[in-house]
């Protein structure tokens, strides 16, 4: 059920995005003759009065179709002012950008709902640094020293790691600045401090810094605080919306500047659904936050100036506004079709890769 719930959330976000385009067109009186979720062969369809609604085979997005290419087939004059191509640039910008705006607004509404239902999480720090995971390879200095997952490092070389944000930085500095030097670390395990410190010797990394092969996280507990004040709910959701958006933009920036190192972190639909299912298993209300996170990601991805994405269409509109006439249709269609094929190819690759990673080795 959790997998189906995650799929439903992802499908809902695609519908919201396309509804943004569709509604922006209809509210301006612009003809929209197709509303599709997915790409490729049609699985289900319904012919409405003016629009065909369809569900297609490849769930990698969706599209709203306009009868601009062959208006005569729909009984329309090619010069009809309600064809999208005949509208002023700003009208078209509104239609193209409406999907992104819809996703951002929906993400904020989801966060308002989450805060209103569950309150907010408050982190209460405790002394030390948590070790969520330890590499088990032979080269892992931490594993050799006897450090285990979920241990808490209380002190390093006699320096206490307090209940503050500086604890992780202090520990990292000691590890990175002392390659090949033995470090004494005081460990708390299962709530009890070990009688003797462990000795760990950082390995010299390629960057000249010491490494011990662990993940580090702040130590502490998370409590939920209920919020009943409507104004506080709205402002708290806005703060969380801003935080997620900034982190997402920073993540895309790192991906673009360090693609070779971060390519493995790119997630396809299968991995996204798997992560959503995990969240749903732990707490069903987490799906709301999951939906907000993915909705913001969809908005930012779509606004990128890449072929076949909304940002690519907006780029052509910007060029049209600057040069006073549109880019020739042959060029636009060639760029968009190439971009769509690349996007579908990437989506299929990610589906295959992520599915293979889910299969036990």
Residues labelled as active-site residues: 18
How far apart are the C-alpha atoms of 185 and 159, rounded to whole Å? 9
Q: Which helix (H) or strand (E) holds 118?
A: helix 89-118
Residue 348: Cβ within 10 Å count: 13
Strands 203-204 and 210-211: antiparallel
**3 state SS of 162:** coil
Q: What token pair was written down for 214?
A: 């662990």
How far is CA 282 from each of CA 81, 109, 237, rounded to the nearest angstrom?
Answer: 53, 22, 22
Mind giving me the DSSP string for 316-340? HHHHHHHHSSPPPHHHHHHHHHHHH
Residue with tokens 């509604």: 23
Taking Cα atoms as reference points, which of 117, 121, 124, 123 lies closest to residue 228?
A: 117
The answer to whether residues 292 and 244 touch, using CB atoms and an 8 Å cutoff, is yes
Taking Cα atoms as reference points, which of 174, 177, 86, 161 lies closest to residue 129?
A: 161
């Amino acid at each position: 059920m959790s997998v189906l719930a995650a799929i439903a959330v992802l499908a809902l976000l695609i519908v919201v995005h396309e509804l943004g385009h569709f509604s922006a067109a209809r509210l301006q009186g612009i003809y929209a003759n197709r509303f599709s979720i997915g790409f490729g062969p049609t699985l289900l369809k319904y012919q409405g009065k003016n629009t065909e609604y369809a569900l297609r085979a490849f769930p990698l997005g969706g599209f709203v179709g306009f009868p601009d290419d062959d208006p005569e087939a729909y009984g329309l004059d090619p010069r009809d002012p309600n064809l999208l191509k005949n509208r002023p640039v700003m009208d078209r910008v509104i239609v193209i950008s409406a999907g992104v705006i819809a996703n951002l607004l929906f993400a904020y509404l989801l966060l308002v709902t989450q805060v209103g239902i569950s309150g907010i999480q408050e982190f209460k720090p405790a002394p030390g640094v948590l070790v969520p995971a330890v590499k088990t390879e032979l080269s892992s200095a931490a594993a050799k020293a006897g450090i285990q997952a979920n241990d808490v490092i209380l002190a390093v070389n006699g320096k206490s790691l307090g209940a503050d944000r500086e604890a992780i930085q202090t520990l990292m500095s000691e590890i990175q600045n002392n390659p090949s030097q033995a470090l004494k670390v005081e460990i708390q395990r299962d709530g009890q401090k070990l009688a003797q410190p462990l000795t760990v010797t950082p390995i010299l990394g390629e960057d000249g810094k010491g490494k011990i092969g662990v993940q580090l996280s702040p130590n502490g507990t998370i409590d939920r605080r209920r919020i009943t004040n409507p104004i506080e709910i709205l402002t708290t959701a806005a703060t969380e919306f801003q935080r997620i958006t900034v982190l997402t933009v920073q993540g895309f920036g790192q991906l673009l500047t360090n693609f070779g190192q971060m390519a493995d972190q790119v997630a396809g639909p299968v991995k996204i659904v798997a992560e959503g299912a995990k969240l749903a298993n732990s707490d069903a209300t987490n799906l709301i936050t999951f939906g907000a996170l993915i909705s913001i990601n969809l908005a930012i991805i779509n606004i990128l100036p890449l072929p076949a994405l909304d940002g690519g269409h907006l780029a052509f509109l910007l060029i049209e506004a600057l040069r006073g006439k549109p880019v020739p249709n042959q060029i636009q269609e060639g760029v968009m079709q190439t971009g769509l094929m690349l996007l579908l190819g990437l989506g299929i690759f990610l589906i295959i890769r992520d599915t293979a990673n889910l299969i036990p080795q």
